[in-house]
Chains A and B, each alone.
Chain A
Amino acid sequence: MKICCLVKEVPDAAVQKRIDPNTKRLDRSGEKNLNPFDTHGIEAAMQIREEGKADVDEIVAVTMGPESAVRALHKAVALGADRSVHLTDDALAGSDVCATGYALAKVLESEQPDLVLLGQQSDDGECYTIGAVVADHLKMPSLTQVIKIEADAEKLVCERQAEYGYDTVEVQLPAVISVGDAINEPRYPSLKAIMGAKKKPLETHATGDVGIEADRVGEQGSQTQVLAINPPPEKEAGEIIEDEDTTETVEKVVAWLDERKLL
C-alpha cells in the first residue's frame, strides 16, 4: 500500500498574520511551520504501517507551494515519510480552493496512492474542504474530520463526529481521508531523523510535469475573487486581569459577577 500525506507550510502560530492589501492574499512572509493538523495525518500513516494489518510499502509527503515549502517536506520526512514530492510553479500563486484542489489531484494522480491522508484544516484558513475537492477529482471515496481509523488492505473503518453524534463509516480503498487532531498524539522526531531528512529523496515538479492545465490554476484559473477586505465590526474590548495574587483576582471576578447579577 502506498500512502500519500498532503502537507502544507503555514505561517507559524506565533506570527501575527495579515492580508496584503495590494494582492489581497495572506502575507506569507515571516516564520513558517508545517501545518500542525497535517502532522496528525503523517502520524496516522505511521500508525497504519506499524499496526501491520495493511502492508504499507511507502509513505510519501506531498506539498504544493513556493520554494520555501521544502522545509515543510523535510519536517514531514523527519516525522516518518519515506520521501517527498514538491509541486512548485509560479503559475500556481493565488490559486483558490477550486484551483488548489485540482492541482493537488493532478500531482497525486502521478503517484497513484492507495490512501491519501491530510489534516482536516490548515492553520491559515482553508478549512475542511481540500480533501473532498481532491477526492472528487481522483474519483475516490472520501471522509473528513476523522478521529479514528482502522485499516486493512482493502478498506478503512472510520469514526467521526457529524451533526447528530458519532458516525462509523466503512470506506473502500483507494480513498482520501482528512483527520482531526483528536485522532492521535504525533510523536516527536528523533534528532537522527531530523538530521537525515534532507538526504531522503525529494522530487520537484512544475505544473507541466504532472499535466496541470495552466489556465485552471493560479489567479487566472481561480473561480473566486476577493473584492474587499474590511475590519470586523467594533466590539468593545473586554477587561483583562493578570492573575498575580489569586485571592485578589477572585475578589475581582466575584465583584464582576455580582455587578451583572449573576450570583
Chain B
Amino acid sequence: MAGILVYALHDDEGNFNKNSLGAISEAAKLAGELGTEAAAVVVGEIADDACAGLGAYGAGKVYRAKSAPEGLAQPIVDVMAKVIEDEGFSYALFGGGLLGFEIGAGLTARLGAGVTMEVTEIKAQDGKLVAERPVLQDSAIVDVGYVGEPGIIIGRLNAFDVQERDGGSADVVDVDVELSEWSTKAKMVKRGEQRGEEVNIEDADILVGGGRGLGEADNFKLAEELAEALGGAVAATRAVVDAGWYPYSAQIGQTGKTVAPKLYLAAGISGAIQHKVGMQSSENILAINKDPNAPIFEFADLGVVGDLHKILPKLTEAVKAKKGG
C-alpha cells in the first residue's frame, strides 16, 4: 500500500482539530487521484466510535496508539514512523499547527525523508505528490517534489478545507508502539492553559487588531476605543499576547484563532505569515503602520503609513461623528 498517513490531533476532551480534519479531507482527495488510500493516526484513549468517525472525512483506516500520550511530538514520531514503515505509506501529511511541524521534522530525521513546510496546495502529478509552498513573504511559490519515499508534507494553517462525505466509517486498528527512550524525557505538566480573560472575537463583524506597534500594553485602549466606535471587538498578535499585553483568547494566527470579519483593521501589526494565516480571509483589510515596508501593506486593501498614536484617536472621533450624524 502506498497511501497517505495523516496525524489527527485532538484536545483533552477528544475533539479532533479542524486543521487535522482538513488534512484528512485533502489526503482522501489526493489518494483518490493517486489510486491509493488515506489513513489517520490517533494517540491516546480515544473511543472506537470517535476514531471510526474520521471515515466521514475520508480516512479508510485509523491507527490508534492508546498508550502514547497526546500533546508532545516525539512519542507521536515513534508511532507514525512505525506505522509508515510497517504499512509502507508513501506520504505523511499534517494540517497547520505547532505539533505538525515538530512531528513532521522528527519523521524527517527518523526516516531520512524529504519535508516541505507551510504548504498551501498539493497536486498529484505523474503518480506522485508535489507540494506548493509560498516563500519569501509569499512573493514566490515553489513546487517541491520528493526524491524518494516517504515524503513529509506540513500544511499551512487553514490550507485544507474540511469536507465531509457520505457514510464513511474507518476501520480502527490498534498499534502497539514502544516509545524511544528520548521520547519519554519530556513530560507535559499542564496543557492548554488559558491566560487572561475570555473574549469573543470570532463572532465580530469588525475587528481592530493590535500589535507591537502600539508600543505598550496601555495603548491597547486606543484600539478598544476605536473598536467600540466601530461596533467591533479587539484582537491581538501573538507577540503582544506573549508579552502579556492582551489575553490569549483574543489572539489571531498560527497558534491562535482564525477570523474572517467584514473589516479587519490592523493597528501596528507587521503582517508576518504567522498572523496573516489567521486573518487573510477578512473581507476588507485596513492597515496602519509606520513602517512602509511592513508586509501587511502587501495584502491590505487600504494601507495608511503613519503614526497610529496620532491617527487612532482622530479616527475614533471621526467614526463617532459620522455614525452620530
Given contacts A172-B186, A226-B143, contact A163 B97 (CB under 8 A): yes
- In this complex, the member of B9, B189, B194, B263 whose beta carbon has the largest number of chain A beta carbons within 10 angstroms is B189
Contacts of A158-173 to chain B: CB distance below 8 A = 160-172
Given contacts A232-B139, A246-B314, contact A164 B192 (CB under 8 A): yes
- Decide if B124 is an interface residue (CB 8 Å cutoff): no
Residues of A in contact with B (beta carbons under 8 Å apart): 14, 17-19, 24, 26, 96-98, 101-102, 105, 125-137, 139-145, 147, 157, 160-172, 175, 180-182, 216, 222-232, 235, 238-243, 246-247, 249-251, 253-254, 256-258, 260, 262-263
A253 to B287: give the CA distance in the assembly, Å.
11
A229 to B182: give the CA distance in the assembly, Å.
39
Contacts of B310 in A (CB 8 A): 243, 246
Which of B38-46, B104-112, B161-169 interfaces with chain A? B104-112
- A245–chain B nearest beta-carbon distance, Å: 10
A168 and B193 form a contact (CB under 8 A): yes
- A39–chain B nearest beta-carbon distance, Å: 16
**Subset of 29 A-B contacts with CB under 8 Å:** A97-B115, A98-B108, A105-B109, A125-B135, A129-B117, A132-B102, A143-B186, A161-B98, A163-B9, A164-B191, A167-B190, A167-B193, A168-B193, A175-B185, A182-B242, A216-B112, A222-B114, A224-B114, A224-B116, A232-B139, A235-B299, A240-B297, A240-B305, A242-B292, A243-B307, A243-B311, A254-B318, A257-B286, A263-B322
B115 and A161 form a contact (CB under 8 A): no
B71 and A162 form a contact (CB under 8 A): yes
- A141–chain B nearest beta-carbon distance, Å: 4
B138 and A232 form a contact (CB under 8 A): yes
B297 and A238 form a contact (CB under 8 A): yes
- Decide if B11 is an interface residue (CB 8 Å cutoff): yes
Closest to B310 in A: A246
Known A-B contacts: A96-B115, A175-B185. Give 16 more (CB < 8 A).
A126-B117, A132-B73, A132-B102, A164-B12, A166-B195, A169-B72, A170-B189, A222-B114, A223-B147, A223-B151, A224-B144, A250-B314, A253-B304, A253-B315, A256-B286, A263-B323
B 114-133 to A, binary, CB cutoff 8 A, 1 in contact else 0: 11111000000000001000
**A interface secondary structure, majority:** mixed
A166 and B144 form a contact (CB under 8 A): no
- Decide if B99 is an interface residue (CB 8 Å cutoff): yes
A179 to B185: give the CA distance in the assembly, Å.
19
Given contacts A19-B140, A241-B305, A263-B319, contact A169 B181 (CB under 8 A): no
Given contacts A98-B112, A128-B117, A135-B106, contact A243 B301 (CB under 8 A): no
Contacts of B99 in A (CB 8 A): 162-163
B109 and A137 form a contact (CB under 8 A): yes
A156 to B99: give the CA distance in the assembly, Å.
19
B182 and A163 form a contact (CB under 8 A): no
Residues of B in contact with A, size category: 35 or more
B73 and A142 form a contact (CB under 8 A): yes
Closest to B114 in A: A223
B304 and A249 form a contact (CB under 8 A): yes
Residues of B in contact with A (beta carbons under 8 Å apart): 9, 11-12, 17, 71-74, 77, 97-99, 101-102, 104-106, 108-110, 112-118, 130, 134-136, 138-148, 151, 154, 180-183, 185-195, 206, 230, 238-239, 241-243, 248, 255-256, 262-263, 284-286, 292-293, 297, 299-307, 310-311, 314-315, 318-319, 322-323
A-B contact count (CB 8 A): 285
A224 to B132: give the CA distance in the assembly, Å.
12
Contacts of B307 in A (CB 8 A): 243
A224 to B129: give the CA distance in the assembly, Å.
12
Closest to A24 in B: B142
Choose from A105, A134, A241 the contact partner of B304 (Cβ within 8 Å).
Answer: A241
Contacts of A129 in B (CB 8 A): 101, 104-105, 108, 115, 117, 154
Contacts of A139 in B (CB 8 A): 180-182
Contacts of B305 in A (CB 8 A): 240-243
A170 to B184: give the CA distance in the assembly, Å.
11
- B184–chain A nearest beta-carbon distance, Å: 8
Given contacts A168-B190, A227-B144, contact A251 B318 (CB under 8 A): yes
A121 to B154: give the CA distance in the assembly, Å.
15
Contacts of A227 in B (CB 8 A): 130, 142-145
Contacts of B241 in A (CB 8 A): 161
Choose from B77, B130, B194, B206 the contact partner of A262 (Cβ within 8 Å).
Answer: B206
Given contacts A132-B101, A165-B195, A232-B138, contact A246 B113 (CB under 8 A): no
